[in-house]
């Protein structure tokens, strides 16, 4: 079974990966795929939007004679990530309460 989740969760997953280290598109896709079924073509518009909103910056780095575009989280992105995590915790508690019959996991 697969739950359909909104763009805010996808944004949060991308920002979460980038809080740990800068990454290029393919690596981001692979890491986000661990929790959501997405393709690179789905991810790139998200990256552009996060960049436009000031949450990411990019830089190019040479790798085997080609440039790779790396994404780096900004201070604004870190702040947004923390907001998303707070919202996620609240949401998760409410869903757990319904799904687990009032039992909230810790």
| Mean pLDDT, residues 27-31 taken together | 93
Question: Is the per-residue pLDDT at 47 higher than 90?
Answer: yes
Question: Is the per-residue pLDDT at 1 higher than 70?
Answer: no
Question: Is the per-residue pLDDT at 71 higher than 80?
Answer: yes
Rounded distance between C-alpha atoms, residue 27 and residue 18, angstroms: 11
On whether the CB atoms of residues 35 and 41 are closer than 8 A, the answer is no
Q: Which pTM was predicted?
A: 0.84
Could you give the domains of the chain?
A: 7-99 (1.10.10.10)
Question: Is the per-residue pLDDT at 105 higher than 60?
Answer: no
Phi-psi region at 102: left, alpha or beta (left = phi > 0; alpha = psi -120 to 50) = left
């Amino acid at each position: 079974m697969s739950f359909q989740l909104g763009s805010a969760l996808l944004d949060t997953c991308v920002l979460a990966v980038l809080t740990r280290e800068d990454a290029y598109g393919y690596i981001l896709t692979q890491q986000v795929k661990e929790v959501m079924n997405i393709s690179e073509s789905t991810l790139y518009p998200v990256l552009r939007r996060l960049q436009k909103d000031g949450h990411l910056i990019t830089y190019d780095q040479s790798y085997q004679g080609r440039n790779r575009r790396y994404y780096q989280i900004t201070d604004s992105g870190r702040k947004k990530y923390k907001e998303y995590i707070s919202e996620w915790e609240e949401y998760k508690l409410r869903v757990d309460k319904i799904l687990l019959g009032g039992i909230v996991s810790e």
